[in-house]
């Protein structure tokens, strides 16, 4: 199985394992809507060309195939609530957490976990590397992220990241930036 590696600027995860995130009833409902839309759009007497209807049918077929692969070949199970993958608990090991750099030993990469009490309770990069800094977590498995939680340092002064980008990869070579939809 391929691994999913998530590259973020400062963020920690509350995520759902892929196997637990597949909500087959929801997927089935969406596929059924697409099949019905295809039937309606391409019904007898439709103004759409035969080629257009074939293209639509091919696209719907992709969704149907994905549904069959994900749901019919697996045991159907209801949608489940998100589960943490282990950034707070330590299930994700320290060596799976890397970064462009860290400021000093009080801000080590492994301190970039939620609710840690080590060092300054956070990771931060060197001053020189701030504009191009990154924080990366290798989840060790494919996963669906349902949320990202971040927090600042436990120092008395207010220190936290206000904005960051999220990208993901299955091979650590080609990165895809997440875009809200």
Better-predicted residue by pLDDT, 154 or 7: 154
* Final residue before a domain boundary, out of 32, 52, 73: 73
Banded model confidence at residue 89, pLDDT cuts 50, 70, 90: very high
**87 neighbors 137 (Cβ within 8 angstroms):** yes
pLDDT(5) > 50: no
Residue span of the structural domain in which 145 resides? 1-15+82-180
Task: Kindly state whether residues 93 and 7 are assigned to the same domain.
Answer: yes
Say if residue 90 is in the same domain as residue 152. yes
Q: How far apart are CA 66 and CA 55, in angstroms?
A: 17
The CA distance from 130 to 48, in Å, is: 54
Residues 60 and 86 in one domain: no
42 and 130 fall within a common domain: no
Predicted local confidence at residue 27, as pLDDT: 77
Q: Are 6 and 38 members of one domain?
A: no
Are 126 and 169 contained in the same domain? yes
Q: pLDDT band for 137, please (50, 70, 90 cuts).
A: very high
Examine the domain organization and report whether 93 and 174 are in the same domain.
Answer: yes
Number of domains into which the chain is organized: 2
Give yes or no for residue 173 having a pLDDT over 90: no
The percent of residues above 70 in pLDDT, for the chain, comes to: 81
pLDDT of amino acid 18: 41
Nearest residue to 125 via CA among 108, 101, 106: 101
Q: Residue 45 pLDDT more than 70?
A: yes
pLDDT for 34 equals 84
Share of the chain above pLDDT 90, in %: 8
Strand partners, 175: none
**Six-digit token pair at 161?**
């990241």
In this predicted structure, what is the pLDDT of residue 158? 75
Indicate whether 93 and 159 sit together in one domain.
Answer: yes
Instruction: Output 95 or 19, whichever has higher pLDDT.
Output: 95
| Residues 104 and 55 both lie in one domain | no
Strands 97-99 and 135-138: antiparallel
- Beta-sheet pairing, 5-8 with 166-169: antiparallel
pLDDT at 9 over 50: no
Other residues' Cβ atoms within 10 Å of the Cβ of residue 12: 24
Q: Are 83 and 120 in contact (CB under 8 A)?
A: no
Which of 26 and 150 is assigned the larger pLDDT?
A: 150
Same domain (yes/no): 41, 100:
no
Instruction: Pick the more confident residue, 75 or 123.
Output: 123
For position 20, what pLDDT does the model report? Answer: 39
- Residue 12's pLDDT is what? 34
């Amino acid at each position: 199985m391929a691994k999913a590696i998530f590259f973020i600027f400062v963020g920690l995860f509350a995520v759902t394992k892929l196997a637990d995130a597949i909500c087959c009833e929801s997927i089935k409902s969406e596929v059924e809507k697409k099949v019905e839309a295809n039937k309606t759009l391409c019904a007898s007497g439709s103004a759409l060309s035969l080629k257009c209807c074939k293209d639509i049918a091919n696209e719907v077929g992709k969704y149907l195939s994905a549904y069959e692969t994900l749901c019919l070949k697996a045991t159907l199970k209801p949608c489940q609530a998100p589960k943490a993958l282990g950034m707070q608990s330590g299930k994700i090991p320290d060596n799976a957490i890397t970064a462009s750099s860290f400021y000093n030993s009080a801000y080590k990469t492994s301190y970039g976990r939620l609710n840690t009490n080590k060092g300054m309770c956070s990771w931060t990069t060197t001053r020189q590397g701030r504009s191009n800094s990154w924080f990366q977590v290798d989840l060790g498995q494919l996963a669906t992220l349902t949320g990202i939680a971040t927090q600042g340092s436990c120092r008395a002064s207010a220190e936290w990241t206000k904005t960051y980008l999220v990208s993901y990869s299955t091979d650590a070579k080609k990165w895809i930036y997440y875009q809200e939809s």
